[in-house]
Amino acid sequence: MKNKLPLAALALALLILVPGLAGAQAPLPPSYQIGPNDVLSIYVWKEAELTRDVTVTPDGKISFPLIGEVVAEGRTVTELKKTIADKLQNFVTAPEVTVIVNESRSRTIYTVGKLTRPGPYPLAPDMTVIQALSVAGGFTEWADTKNILIIRREGGRETQLKFNYKEFTGGDNLGQNILLKPGDTIVVP
């Protein structure tokens, strides 16, 4: 019995430490795109007075010393880092910039209605309607699971998409389990 315990611990450690050994890995999500209300930490090496936390404004910009406003929305961390470093070249010799997303506030979905835990939730990569309903704790007793709505705003227009939980769990109309987008609201009447 004493010899089996270290062997089991080794097997568990291998499963945890060696990627792919326990099965296929999920594909990595595309690079995160910065959005309004995200909180960023920007570090400029050897320039303490330029190192700071900033919040992306609703119009998608940040303000930074010496260079003014910079568009951050829709850019990856790498793209924003390069933009800031390029603009700082006029003021700092060979600036080394690091950008970190401290809080992702732009990728949020909302759940309202007859759910156990309605409210705002962070949007996980490739999150679907059924996954969001699960995160919100499932339905309350009198929920109308046949007439769920996903409200989406794009380009100044509001669209209502229908989701019928009973159909979906019965194997019908599986295409209605769409990928959610930031700002989507799921309404369970």
Per-residue pLDDT, averaged over 144-156, amounts to: 94
Q: Say what the pLDDT of residue 112 is.
A: 97
pLDDT on residue 22: 38
- How many angstroms separate the first and last alpha carbons of the chain? 57
Give the Cα separation of 118 and 95 in Å (integer). Answer: 45
Reply yes or no on whether the pLDDT at 91 is more than 60: yes
Q: Where are the alpha helices (DSSP H) in the chain?
A: 4-17, 77-88, 129-135, 165-169
User: CA dist 88 to 22, 26, 60, 68, 139, Å?
Assistant: 46, 38, 20, 10, 52
Give the Cα separation of 73 and 57 in Å (integer). 9
What is the residue-averaged pLDDT of the chain? 86
Residues 23-76 have pLDDT tens digits of 333 333 557 899 999 999 999 999 999 999 999 999 999 999 999 999 999 999
- pTM of this prediction exceeds 0.95: no
